[in-house]
A and B are shown apart, each in its own frame.
Chain A
Amino acid sequence: MTQYYQLDSGTNPPIFLRLAKSEVVGTKDAAMLRFFSSTSSSLTINLVPDLIDDPFELQKTAFEAIPPLLLCQYFGKWVVSKDGQIVDSDKDLQKLSGRFFGVNGRVDVYICRVGIEEPTLIRTPFLR
């Protein structure tokens, strides 16, 4: 079973790792990744305490780390962000969704509209 972790290195954008639970040592609150060399010395990398185990939240976090200047070219469009990179865009959400998932299958991504989003209206009252 794998889980997502964020490297505690302070980089921007943050670096995420998908690791098997067996690869991580320590506790949920102080996880560490340890590399072993052939000479039996080891290197330990600290991971942030909060585990990110929701692929959607991971993709959303990675999207939010994209510098705004890199998103300017997509203003007003729907974008597909995968691991903090914009991999497809379109003015029509359903065209984008159909095209992207038709080609790539079910992959973890974050889809949203870039820029000031006008709310889509559902005039039927839906709070009940």
Chain B
Amino acid sequence: MPIDTDYQFDPEERDAPSAPMTRVTLIYENRKITCLALLDSGAAITTITEEARRALAPMRNGERLVGGATKSAEFYPLYLVEKLYFSNHEYSNLSLVRLPTDSKIMLIGRDILNKHEILLDGPQEHMTVS
């Protein structure tokens, strides 16, 4: 289903402005988890949270050099996710990077965002993704 929803407040940062977030479903083998995900045009790649990694127990399949806003670049593990459902699209066999954070919010990066038409209506705090 295309996304047509209001922005949400980050449950880990309640005083911050609302953000374009939605629920994303990940599947590995017969395990499934639905995570809150931030549409993050500042992230080149999509991430997997520690919570999702523990729930899915996906196969570690590689490493990627990642730099952040407040940290120098380091290699972080890649994990295979067999299905990722975002908006009206099913993505298969993605390799997602696991960052060293306990945040329960995954980042949908430009590797996925750039395949969608996205309208962020800040004043209305509303977004549509197709």
Contact = CB atoms under 8 A, between A and B. Distances in A.
Interface of A: 56, 60, 93-94, 97-98, 100-102, 106, 108-113, 117-128
Given A121-B44, A122-B42, A122-B47, A128 B103 contact: yes
Interface centre among A112, A113, A124, A125, by most chain B C-beta atoms within 10 angstroms, is A124
5 contacts: A120-B66, A124-B69, A125-B70, A126-B100, A127-B101
A46 to B, nearest CB: 29
Contact of A102 (B40, B61, B93): B93
B94 A98 contact: yes
Interface of B: 12, 29, 38, 40, 42-45, 47, 59-71, 73, 78, 80, 82, 91-95, 97, 99-103, 107, 109, 111
Given A122-B69, A126-B101, 7 more contacts: A56-B59, A98-B92, A111-B62, A119-B65, A126-B69, A127-B68, A127-B101
A-side binding surface: helix, strand, loop or mixed?
mixed
Nearest to A60: B63
Given A108-B59, A112-B62, A127-B101, A121 B95 contact: no
The 5 closest A-B CB pairs, nearest first, are A111-B62, A119-B73, A123-B42, A119-B67, A101-B93
Contacts of B69: 122-126
A55 B103 CA distance: 27
A94 B71 contact: no
In terms of DSSP, what is the predominant structure of the interface of chain B? strand
A93 B42 contact: no
B70 A127 contact: yes
Contact of A101 (B38, B80, B97): B80
B78 to A, nearest CB: 6
Contacts of B61: 56, 97, 109-111
A113 B93 CA distance: 18
Contacts of A128: 12, 101-103
Contact of B109 (A109, A119, A122): A122
Contacts of B101: 126-128
Contact of A97 (B12, B94, B107): B94
A82 to B, nearest CB: 11
Nearest to B71: A127
